[in-house]
Structure formats: C-alpha cells, structure tokens
Chain A
Amino acid sequence: EAQVTQNPRYLITVTGKKLTVTCSQNMNHEYMSWYRQDPGLGLRQIYYSMNVEVTDKGDVPEGYKVSRKEKRNFPLILESPSPNQTSLYFCASRVDRGKNTQYFGPGTRLTVL
C-alpha cells in the first residue's frame, strides 16, 4: 500500500529535550516536506527536500532541522524544543511532475511542556 508514515503519532516532552519525528514514504517520491498545523493558520511549511541531500527552508524553519540521507526518509529534528513548537506536524511527499499532488502522513501531535 502506497503511504507516508510518521512516528511517533503522539508525543509529550519537556522544554529542551531533543527529539526526532521520523517520516518515511514507499512511493519513491523525490519531493518531501514538513508542515505544522496551528488553529486558525492552516498548514505552514517548515522544510522541504527536492531529493537526497537537497533540503531548503520553508516559511517557518526556526527551531527545526531536517536531513535527507535516503530517498524514502525525511526526519524532522527539534534540537531544543520550546512550548511554541506545540503543534500538529505533517510530513508529505509527491512525485516532482504532473499534478504534484502531495500525499500526507497521518500527523504527529507534539506537546512541549
């Protein structure tokens, strides 16, 4: 089954404790992206990657890091989480041609205390 998976789905952590949210897709997509969703703001892009070893900032990159060592994986790293990073996070991927429809993972609900 074609899908984007994220882990963990739910996470409660404390300020300053480094964490990683994993994202994996099995569709051989070149493009992957991370978004955060906050009430009243829709989804905003954090980082994206056009292919292996190619990453770039989105609209709200502060406080986040990413890496793309393999085509299928695109982890999101919070080196020192803060309460304002409490949010719902989505990973997405798509093939870089045609309609460019993005397929989203199930989401990770993060709470930073």
Chain B
Amino acid sequence: AQKITQTQPGMFVQEKEAVTLDCTYDTSDQSYGLFWYKQPSSGEMIFLIYQGSYDEQNATEGRYSLNFQKARKSANLVISASQLGDSAMYFCAMRDTGRRALTFGSGTRLQVQP
C-alpha cells in the first residue's frame, strides 16, 4: 500500500524568505507521480506542481520547485520568496498506478508572517 508522510503539521516563514515543506513516500511501484496541492482557507484544492518518478530533472513552476530525491523517497516542496498569499494548507500526494487514485498526506499548514 502506498503511504505519504508529512511530518510538519505547521510551519512559519517570514515574508520573502524561502521555505521547504517535507514529504516522504512509500511505494512498491516503479512508475508513480507525485503532486503538491495548496488549500487556502477558502477550501479549494489548487494544483501546484507534479514530478514523475522517471523525470530526471526536478520540477519547477514559478516560485515552486520540487526537490525530488528518489533514493530517499522524498519529494519536498520549496517555495521561494514567500508571499502572504502563500499562507495555506499544503498537501503532498502520490498517484496510485493501479486505480489511479491520489493518496494524500495529512498536510502542512504554512503561515507567512510579514
């Protein structure tokens, strides 16, 4: 069975600084996908970034980058130059290649301070 672990229930960061949100995963699949979603206080789930298990380069999307370390089974999200609007809950998720579901971690609540 797949499992996603996010060990940081909450994080604080100063505005304009970078922050890393941790995610480790466990799977026996060779091919898998890793995702990060943002959930602001309004409740919607916003897709941020994707990393495929066979992608040789770390994914980047604007201020978001994914630090993918396959041997360590980690897929940490790095947010550069934090903004107040980055305050939200962040979820790491993995795609199940069998039934193609997403398995989610428990989330990290990020608060950006001015």
Residues in A whose Cβ lies below 8 Å from that of B12: none
Decide: A104 and B101 in contact? CB cutoff 8 A. Answer: no
Residues in B whose Cβ lies below 8 Å from that of A102: 35, 47, 102
Chain A 97-111 residues near chain B, CB threshold 8 A: 99-104, 106-107, 109
Residues in A whose Cβ lies below 8 Å from that of B43: 88, 106-107, 109
Residues in A whose Cβ lies below 8 Å from that of B47: 101-104
Q: With contacts A43-B102, A96-B100 known, is A106 near B44, CB below 8 A?
A: yes
| Sample of 25 A–B contacts (CB below 8 Å) | A35-B102, A42-B4, A42-B93, A42-B104, A42-B105, A42-B107, A43-B45, A43-B91, A43-B93, A43-B104, A44-B104, A45-B102, A48-B100, A48-B101, A59-B101, A88-B43, A90-B45, A92-B102, A99-B33, A99-B50, A99-B52, A101-B35, A101-B50, A102-B47, A104-B45
